[in-house]
Chain A
Amino acid sequence: MSDFSPYLSPSQTQAPLALVFDNVTLGYGDFTVLSDISLNVKAGEVVAIMGGSGSGKTTLLRAATGQLAPMRGDVKVFGTVVDVNQRAKLESLRQRMGVLFQHGALFTDLNVFENVAFPLREHTTLKEAELLDQVLETLDAVGLKTAAHLKLSEISGGMARRVALARAVVRGPELILYDEPFAGLDPISLGVTARLIRQLSDRLGCASVLITHDIAESFAIADAVYIVGQGALKAQGSPDSLRHSTDPYVRQFLDGAPDGPVAFDYPTTPAYTRWLERQGGRS
């Protein structure tokens, strides 16, 4: 069991829950990545999940989208348990989500416009003129309206991230999961993207979950921050409370100190132990 009870920001206590992790343990095969994770995300709230590389942040996102079944505990989206074996129910939940993948996952055979239009073409019966308006409006929000005609090979990595962002939000989802939304963005795009994420939550009332390393930008827009590491939830609270925290783990993470409780070394796994045995036990 986790020592933490999920943090609720004062302004969000009455809003409906969009995403709940209830004592969830996650892993791959026999390797446990995160244990006893509990967190709540409410409608209209922006939550940042932070942690070092390989700490299991993306694993949390995969569990929220139903790509990974928990080893223990329940993941609930809009009050419904995410069950990877119930395809129809899972698809109906996914239709209410938007996901920004870590590497964009844009469709390389489609141009910028068609990438953003893809979810609309698949799930709506909008007329072509309405679809054109909606896609261009969304592209305008990320500053790429006039790049709608370009092929993916003609845009930069940062622009591709913004196209992926536009695709994630074009249908106005109720829960948006952003995996490293600020990675590879220049300072201007980074600021615009952070403001856009906040505005979307405020305007649409959608819940936003950011998986990120970027402390300054995520603290500026988040209502709550969760820090994961060493296979567990290490800290949670509002950005202000964490900024003034004296917890050595939080301090080391926020200050980027080389020494402290945050382990730099990758943990020993059963797979590594087996591999080492096959090498004759040399270390």
Chain B
Amino acid sequence: MSVIERIGQLGAWVRQSTQTLGQFALFFGQILLRTNALWKRARLVVTQVHFIGNYSLIIIVISGLFVGFVLGLQGYYTLNRYGSEEALGLLVALSLTRELGPVVTALLFAGRAGTSLTAEIGLMKAGEQLAAMEVMAVDPIRRVIAPRFWGGVIAMPVLAAVFSMVGILGGYIVGVLLIGIDSGAFWSQMQAGVDVIDDIMNGVIKSVVFGFVVTSIALFEGWKCRPTPEGVARATTRTVVAGSLAVLGLDFVLTALMFSQ
């Protein structure tokens, strides 16, 4: 392949990427513009919060428990070297509320609920259901996309909170019940060291931002996918890849903004 052809390919890739980014921005804007109608039909959003939350709850609880177990073990081995094993509760809580809760929840959400959203919208497109809505003078962005978007945005921090709570419980089981750290020290260190605004609220803000990003990527991929089995399959894969990378990249940026001195 000649240099000119390579430059041409690069140019086509840049143009395609810019076009996709523009389409995404337009799609996101349309969702926000259509949101006002949902105040009158809040039940559509409530149904989606329930539906999307249910998709991910079991995997969130199980993952949170095992992450808590591992944090308890790893934390104990490290803290034990310095004779600070009573600080295990603080370490587990801070790790979960600041970082692992929002990030791991968002990654699991992208793989579980995100792919479901993409496949659902993609199959609705393939089955002409979205076209049928348009022809019935029902805006599919207002009726289908916006409720799912807000359902995902609301469900994400709730799931992250569940993840963190179950993770702390996992750390307690390993640290206190199995290893034998003093229960009072475990909880009191946590109470004294975790700040509601700096730690918990920042974690909540992170999970809300991740909810915006992952849900909108999932819906966008379903919306623009080719209406074929292969097109839907590719779109679900793109949801996981793009969603996960966006979460990890944004986590770095948000952490730098929130926790820098």
Contacts and interface: CB of A to CB of B under 8 A. Distances in A.
Interface of A: 65, 67, 91-92, 94-95, 97, 99, 101, 103, 105-108, 118-119, 122-123
Interface stretch (B71-79, B97-105, B125-133, B172-180): B125-133
Interface string B131-154: 110111111000100000000000
B143 A105 contact: no
Contact of B137 (A67, A103, A123): A123
22 contacts: A67-B131, A91-B137, A91-B139, A92-B137, A94-B134, A94-B135, A94-B136, A94-B137, A99-B132, A99-B135, A101-B132, A103-B127, A105-B132, A106-B129, A107-B124, A107-B129, A108-B123, A108-B129, A118-B138, A122-B143, A123-B137, A123-B138
A278 to B, nearest CB: 16
A99 B136 contact: yes
Contacts of B123: 108
Contacts of B136: 94, 99, 118-119, 122
A88 B95 CA distance: 51
The B contact surface, by secondary structure, is helix
Nearest to A94: B137
Interface of B: 123-124, 127-129, 131-132, 134-139, 143
- Counting from the closest, the 3 A-B pairs by CB-CB distance are A105-B132, A94-B137, A105-B128
Contacts of A108: 123-124, 127, 129
A181 to B, nearest CB: 15
Nearest to B138: A122
- Tell which of B129, B135, B143 has the most Cβ of chain A within 10 Å: B135
Contact of B128 (A91, A101, A123): A101
B129 A103 contact: no
Nearest to A107: B129
